[in-house]
Amino acid sequence: MRIKYTISIVFFVALVIIEKENNIISRVSDKLTLKQTPQTPLQPSSFSHILQKHNASITPPKNNSAFTLMKRRLENYSEHQEVRTRGRKHILLLATTRTGSSFVGEFFNQQGDNMFYLFEPLWHVEKMLTLDTGGTNATASAKAYRDVLQQLLLCDFSLMESFIDPLPVDHITTALFRRESSSSLCEESVCSPFVKGVFERYHCRTRRCGPLNLTMASLSCLQKEHRAIKSVRVRQLETLRPLAEDPRLDVKFIQLVRDPRAVLASRMVAFAAKYKNWKEWAAGGDIPIDDDEVRKLKGNCDNIKMSAEIGLRRPQWLRGRYMLVRYEDIARFPMRKAAEMYRFAGIPFTPQVKSWILKNTQASKDTSGVYSTQKNSSEQVEKWRFSIPFKIAQVVQKVCGPTLKLFGYKFVSSEEMLTDKSVSLIENKVFNVL
């Protein structure tokens, strides 16, 4: 009997020691990764055009084999123990432009002290990889997007840095795209002293900070429990498969979609000049609409559909890692959908997020009382039906038909139906078995 007890106690003590050691090792390993960020292989060959654009050289990674070996051992160790990912979630909010992704991104940006949130870090990558033709090489950019996202989710900014123009000096930049949209990049610990006379296009609004020190950002990121990134640039979910399979990460993909007719209506307002011909054509003009724009529309719809089909098929690598959300559902039931997203991500839904949602979705009060959130948002979400010409809605239905069908957006067969408020174009649909 006594021997049994002794064995149990020894066993228990051993477990505690192992546990402690793991934590220390994982912390040391994080620190090492951070200190050595410039040594992360940059694959100079595949990104050589970046170097050309910068007209500067990124010093090729030094080969410190002892360090590399130790780092790898540590990584191996922690990976196998799954210490680094225990409870830590990595959220990727994937959308396309004009789908309300900035708004939905706020659900995570507002989470509070536990979340490191980045807003469109791939903006820099896309910009750098944009060819003279105005487009990008889809294969090359998909690879760059994937590698940058993977590093960022591990709080490593080094590859991302190489895409920032002008190239940061000593990891300091004045040019990080919409820095102020990530509250994590404007908090005290990432706020270096304000420097007089330095122009910053994107600067913190909550406090006066100097240029962004990416080393500080990285250190802050490592302290946070969870990490979230919003991006409208990933075209195919499948290109991110290595992230789902990276044992250092516990990635949760949230794909945000919206009725392509509403997206186009929104684009027609935002980029009015570009769609001048469309409007004229819809109003009875005889100049046919630009084939190139139609092809782009179709390409977008097909990419979104393909990504969603993979997600909804639930292949092994995506099990429990994929959620599809329609913007229309978020607009109509923001609190419920936000709670679902948090539940899916495995992160507690904080009061900060709740109050932010209340504040930002609530109808304005008027003398007759208070509008309900739902009623107001419902109105907003269907507004596009009164701005898009029926002929253009038909074009979208033609080229994006299968996409509309998959997400449960009803086709309209006449102008009257398009503008008939009593007919909802949003079918009730449940996509995720959570």
Applying CB under 6 A, the residues found at the interface with ligand NAG are 55, 63, 65, 69, 72-73, 76, 137, 139-140, 170, 172, 213, 215-216, 363-364, 371, 376
Instruction: Say if CB 128 and CB 163 are below 8 A apart.
Output: yes
- Least distance from C-beta 285 to ligand NAG, angstroms? 34
Decide: 280 and 351 in contact? Cβ < 8 Å: no
How many Å apart are CA 424 and CA 282, to the nearest integer?
Answer: 24
Closest contact distance (angstroms) between CB of 182 and ligand NAG is 17
Nearer to ligand NAG, 73 or 274 (CB): 73
Strands 322-326 and 251-257: parallel
CB of 324 to ligand NAG, least distance (A): 25
Q: How far apart are CB 396 and ligand NAG at their closest, in Å? A: 26
- Residue number with the shortest CB distance to ligand NAG? 65
In the complex, the smallest distance separating the C-beta of residue 79 from ligand NAG, rounded to whole angstroms, is 8
Instruction: Report whether 239 contacts 142 (CB < 8 A).
Output: yes
Of 135 and 320, nearer to ligand NAG (C-beta) is 135
Give the C-alpha separation, 71 to 37, whole Å.
12
> How, if at all, do strands 365-366 and 369-370 pair?
antiparallel
Of 233, 240, 173, 244, the residue nearest 209 (C-alpha) = 173
Q: Checking DSSP bridges between strand 251-257 and strand 90-94, what pairing results, if any?
A: parallel
Q: How far apart are CA 341 and CA 335, in angstroms?
A: 10
User: What minimum distance in Å lies between the beta carbon of 361 and ligand NAG?
Assistant: 6
Q: Supply 46's token pair.
A: 């595949």
Nearer to ligand NAG, 165 or 180 (CB): 165
Strand partners, 409: 426
170 or 291, CB closer to ligand NAG?
A: 170
CA-to-CA separations, 74 to 20, 32, 326, 384, 411, in angstroms, rounded: 15, 10, 41, 54, 55
Is 55 or 428 the residue whose CB approaches ligand NAG more closely?
55
- Distance in Å, CB of 37 to ligand NAG, minimum: 11
